[in-house]
Amino acid sequence: MDSARGPAPGRSDAAGFWEVWQRFDADEKGYIEEKELDAFFLHMLMKLGTDETVMEATVDKVKQQFMTTQDASKEGRIQMKELAGMFLSEDENFLLFFRRETPLDSSVEFMQIWRRYDTDSSGFISAAELRDFLRDLFLHHKKAISEAKLEEYTGTMVSNEQGHLHEGSSPTPP
């Protein structure tokens, strides 16, 4: 993943989505109430730089689109993963999952993890090293992942000509 590129137009990145999400899910239950959707969409659209003159109509349109494509739970709760799909690309969705499931306390902790998987100490994580990291991450959280999905995630995140992530371009903790 090329973090210098930033999110695609109309898309947020994991950090931006997480920042808005935390405003509404301060107790970290993993969901927000359906009645909070308008405010959530307003904050997300502001984060994306939507023109204020069309904001209200855009919020209504986005909410309507969401409600027709998603089933809100019977309790009127909207899960984070349901909303993340609207605003995040697949790789940013993965980073959001990583941030939520594996919060890091500091960049020092991140560097310790990085060095564990940068087995040749090159400052780069090769595709094979990244695949090992992702496999261990999923195993740690008792989540099943197929080899095909590991390849897909690895390919999404390592899309440069050299076939590796550089220490300076790696996803960092929030």
Instruction: Kindly give the confidence (pLDDT) of every residue in the chain, 174 residues in length, as a single tens digit, with 9 standing for 90 and above.
Output: 333 334 434 567 888 898 899 899 988 888 888 888 889 998 888 888 878 777 888 888 888 888 777 665 557 788 888 888 888 887 777 778 777 766 666 667 677 777 888 888 888 888 888 888 888 877 777 778 888 888 887 776 665 556 666 555 444 333
| 117-163 pLDDT tens trace | 888 888 888 888 888 888 887 777 777 888 888 888 777 666 555 66
What pLDDT is recorded for position 161?
A: 56
Q: What is the pLDDT of residue 87?
A: 86
CB of 30 closer than 8 Å to CB of 79: yes
Distance CA 111, CA 127 (A): 18
